[in-house]
Amino acid sequence: MDRAESSPGVRVAVAALATLALLAVALTVAGGAPAAVAADHAGPVESSHAAESFSGSAGAGPAPQTDDDADVIRLRSELTQTDERGSVGVTTRATVPDRVTELELTLLSAREDPDVEADGFTRVDDAGSEESVWEWDGETADPSLTYAIDANDTVEEAGPLAAGGAYRFVDAGEWALVRTPRVSAAWSYTGQYEAQVRLQRETVVAGEGVASQSMAFLGPHEERVREAAGQRYRLIVPDAADPVASPDEVFGVFADASTALQVGARDDEVVAFTAPTDEVSWAVRGLQTGDADLWVRDGEPAGTAADVWTHEYVHTRQAYRAEASGRWITEASATYYAALFALDRGAADFADFERTLARGERDPAASAVLSDPTTWEGNPDYTKGALVAGELDRRLRTETDGAASLATVLRDLNEADGRITNEDILDAVATAAAEGADDATAAELRDEAEALTTTRTTAETWDRDAHAAAFGETPAQVGYGLADEGVRVDGEYRNRTVARDPVELVVGESLDVAVVASNTGGAVGSYDLSLTVDGEPVANRSGTLDAGEETVERFGHRFDAAGEYEVRIGSERLTVSRLGHRARQAPRSGRLDRPGPGRGGRVGRRDRDRRQRRRRPRRGRHRVPRGRRDGRDRTRSVGRGGGSDGRPRDPARRRRGRARRRRLRERDRARRRAGRRGVDDGGRRGRRSDPDRRRPRVRAGGSPRLAGRRRRDPRSAGSAGRVAGERAID
């Protein structure tokens, strides 16, 4: 994020703040009492030990701490939420030692035309029209000033870390994330110069809340603390936030970055705030200000190639201040290191790392001149700058056999006395290269760095082999994900892929999940997968994978009781709903057979077809009786040729029906013809049309078999007539 400076060491993400208004007031004390003044951030005030009066001032920045109450002016600012949305109330109270004879405070954060309630202070009339300067009356033991500051800080931002909103600090009503008030001070005191009176600042929140040096959160919250890598990390998680990254993950990336960044400027304490996103549209994804204070949106993960938590932490290790030509290195190094550290930890693969840097190869970023911000379109310091920073890091490591790197350059910049320029960056590159290479190589690297930063030339991303040669093999990077069609149901009637949200099972069915474990790193890695149901492990799979290898592991589980379960495999989560009824078999049409009225089993096809023919209307609406279809009344439209379920008949089935009706009509016509003739020709066709051929008659002393033979006996016309007569009588 962009760094703006409100005091030495201040870094602000994304946009520059107003420059620090540093009040330097020299107060001369006339008369017999000797006086002295000390500054909390300045060097020693020029003085003579023979003199008995001293003067100086303190800006709005942090003040050193001391335990000697007799030599400390304490400024305590207490923040309170107000009824007015967008403002925060402040009471700044001073504790003045006996040695102090004069004290003057300037409210740098107070609203314009503030309604200040003063106790023991009077306003200085000759101060500038835009300044709110107050002078202690010299008598009140604990003088105070009560005023209001603007809570909302809005800006329009664009770039890789822009979030599409407007707020960098805000009062959301139930909670507020704001800057701490800035107050500068000047004082006079008596005594020897060696025993200077110093200033100590403290910012607190009335009620629920927490304040750091540069930020404050007002509202209910939880604070987590971790000490690691020589630092103390405080993570403030508001109740209104829903963080994606766990405290352990945030502390982990902080500690890893602290260990990897050997650049100096390591603060004793880092304070990080999780910014709620439900009610606020933030201008940026994260912001760092002060020496070591930062906030990151609650929706940001930790440890990715575009990790905002690491990005903002890197800013806390940048102690230098930059002129316009050297400004690019601030965001460039933070973006590059966030991607590199994620790759080194195995949280990102080389493709993610390469993709992050490759943004600097595309216009308009590629055409920008990094040392000339007037040529910038968008935020090339994040994109082209990160690619150039990475290329310089790779070249330094390669040419010096690992003796120097980009961290060597940043360490030199942190030790600079004044504001750095691009020339200072180029000189630091040459100095770093000289640590492990000859002068010619150092000069060559400086020329390359100059071309990449002062012209429209850009670098190119490097491949995995080049990265391994400079940085060493990337570690194993084993990741997990559901396979394609990896969520299935296995049961008596279903064995297929199902939807995931949620997975619905019935009695007799089990869940079958396929998970892909892949190693995208450069070394052999192991995996250990567990299937958990409501937090309880029920199955485990483990193994090893070579670089670039992947495998599929399958898990199956049957849920005994009805209810809703949370299933987790690696980072994948599923919601499984086990229903209480048993599935019924579905016919080929995909519809379940329905029991008929008064019958316990399934309806036979012939019975069903016969009832459908009897009840089917030619057109109109057909109401299915209650209980016939899932216990509900349903109305279906039935057209000509449709079934009771409203669907058209099968064409083959219609053809079979027409053929059957045609045969019946032919049989009836043959009967009528035979009845009119009164004779039977005894041929094949006559027998075929006989309606009683399957019911032969039995005469006295005969049998069905013989009767049939007599019908077919052609020996006499009489017998034929008798048979025909019998048929006619029937």
Task: Estimate to the nearest angstrom the gap between the alpha carbon of 404 and the chain centroid.
Answer: 35
Can you tell me which residue has the tokens 């109305």?
635
Instruction: Check: CB of residue 680 under 8 Å from CB of residue 686.
Output: yes
Those residues whose C-beta lies under 8 Å from the C-beta of residue 676, and which sit 6 or more positions away, are: none
Q: Is 628 exposed, middle or buried (0-12, 13-18, 19+ CB in 10 A)?
A: middle
Residue 81's identity, in one-letter code, is: Q
**90-94, 110-114, 374-378, 454-458: lowest mean pLDDT where?**
110-114
**pLDDT for the residue 482:** 85
* 355, 348 Cβ separation under 8 angstroms: no
Using CA atoms, how far residue 658 sits from 606, 611, 615, 644, 647, in Å, is 17, 18, 19, 19, 19
Residues 267-283 pLDDT 10s? 999 999 999 999 899 99
Residue, of 715 and 190, whose pLDDT is higher: 190
Which class for 329: exposed (0-12), middle (13-18), buried (19 or more C-beta within 10 A)? buried
Residue 621 DSSP label: E
For residue 241, the 8-state DSSP code is -
Question: Which residue type is seen at 286?
Answer: G
Instruction: Give the three-class secondary structure for 432.
Output: helix
- DSSP secondary structure of 636-698: EE--TTB-TTSPBPPHHHHHHHHHHHHHHHHHHHHHHHHHHH-----SHHHHHT-TTTTS---
- Listed in sequence order, the DSSP H helices in 346-414 are 350-358, 384-399, 406-414
pLDDT exceeds 70 at position 678: no
The rounded percent of the chain whose pLDDT value lies above 70 is 70
- Integer angstrom CA distances of residue 494 from 498, 578, 601, 660: 10, 14, 21, 38
Distance of alpha carbon 307 from alpha carbon 316, whole angstroms: 15
The DSSP code sequence of 132-192 is: -EEEE-S--SS-EEEEEEE--EE----STTB-SS-EEEEE-SS-EEEEPP-EEEEEEE-S-
Pairing of strands 121-123, 215-218: unpaired
Q: How many residues does the chain have?
A: 730
Read off the pLDDT of residues 635-675 as tens digits, 9 standing for 90 and up: 444 444 455 455 556 788 888 888 989 999 999 888 888 87
d(CA 288, CA 275): 12
310-325: average pLDDT: 96
Q: State both tokens at 527.
A: 């995996």
Q: Per mean pLDDT, which range of 41-45, 520-524, 530-534 is the poorest?
A: 41-45
Does the structure show a pLDDT above 70 at 508? yes
Exposure of 646 in the CB half-sphere (CA atoms within 13 A):
9
**Whole-number pLDDT of residue 610:** 57
Looking up tokens 């310089």 gives 392
Strands 117-119 and 72-81: unpaired
Could you report how far apart the first and last alpha carbons of the chain are, in Å?
Answer: 107
Q: Which of 235, 218, 213, 204 is nearest to 176 (CA)?
A: 218
Kindly give, in sequence order, each residue whose CB lies less than 8 Å from that of residue 450, ignoring residues fewer than 6 positions away: 426
**Using CA atoms, how far apart are residues 318 and 254, in angstroms rounded to an integer?**
15
Q: Give dist(CA 91, CA 116) in Å, integer.
A: 10
Contact indicator for 10, 22 with CB cutoff of 8 Å: no
**Tokens 């806390």 belong to residue:** 316
- The mean of the pLDDT values for the chain is 78
Query: Domains in the chain, start-ordered, CATH in brackets?
Result: 320-475 (1.10.390), 481-582 (2.60.40.10), 653-729 (no CATH)
Asked if 622 contacts 644 with a C-beta cutoff of 8 angstroms, the reply is yes
Higher pLDDT, 648 or 404: 404
Query: pLDDT value at position 692?
Result: 47
Which class for 177: exposed (0-12), middle (13-18), buried (19 or more C-beta within 10 A)? buried
Distance of CA 387 to the CA centre of its chain: 25
The model scores a pTM over 0.85: no
Band of pLDDT at residue 724, cut at 50, 70 and 90: very low
What is the arithmetic mean of pLDDT over 58-66? 53
Phi, psi (deg, nearest 5) at residue 420: -85, 150
Return d(Cα 180, Cα 10) in angstroms, integer.
13
350-358 helix and 384-399 helix, angle to the nearest 10 degrees: 120
Q: Give the pLDDT of residue 34.
A: 35
422-434 helix and 439-454 helix, angle to the nearest 10 degrees: 150
Q: What angle do CA 428, 430, 435 make, to 5 degrees?
A: 95
